[in-house]
């Protein structure tokens, strides 16, 4: 398949080029830090930022949350998430 944008730099405002399933954990940081999180199902996601602050976000399926979370905690997270990079 031809990709006319193959040589273009991809900044944080551009589209993601890869995605991965998120496995929430209370003890392990994400292996790859995403540029955004996509909610696959309605529910809550408890996210930790780089300062160690945990915040719960309630969203609907299809919502994109543009945060570069360090960890998605298992305790309190009810949504299924995908990371975009």
Mind listing the pLDDT tens digit for each residue in 52-77?
999 999 999 999 999 999 999 999 99
**Tokens representing 77?**
């997270």
pLDDT of residue 6: 78
What is this structure's pTM?
0.89
Q: From the centroid of its chain, how far is CA 12?
A: 13
**Tokens representing 7?**
């040589």
Average pLDDT, the chain: 94
| Alpha-helical runs (H) found in the chain | none
What do you get for the CA distance between the two ends of the chain, in Å? 21
Check: CB of residue 44 under 8 Å from CB of residue 58.
Answer: yes
State pLDDT tens for residues 22-37. Answer: 999 999 999 999 999 9
pLDDT of residue 16: 87
Residue 79 has a CB neighbour count (10 Å cut-off) of: 24
């Amino acid at each position: 398949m031809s990709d006319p944008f193959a040589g273009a730099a991809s900044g944080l405002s551009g589209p993601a080029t890869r995605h991965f399933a998120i496995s929430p954990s209370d003890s392990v940081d994400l292996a790859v830090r995403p540029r955004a999180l996509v909610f696959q199902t309605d529910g809550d996601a408890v996210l930790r930022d780089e300062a160690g602050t945990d915040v719960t976000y309630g969203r609907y399926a299809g919502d994109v949350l543009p945060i570069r979370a360090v960890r998605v905690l298992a305790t309190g997270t009810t949504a299924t998430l995908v990371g975009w990079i």
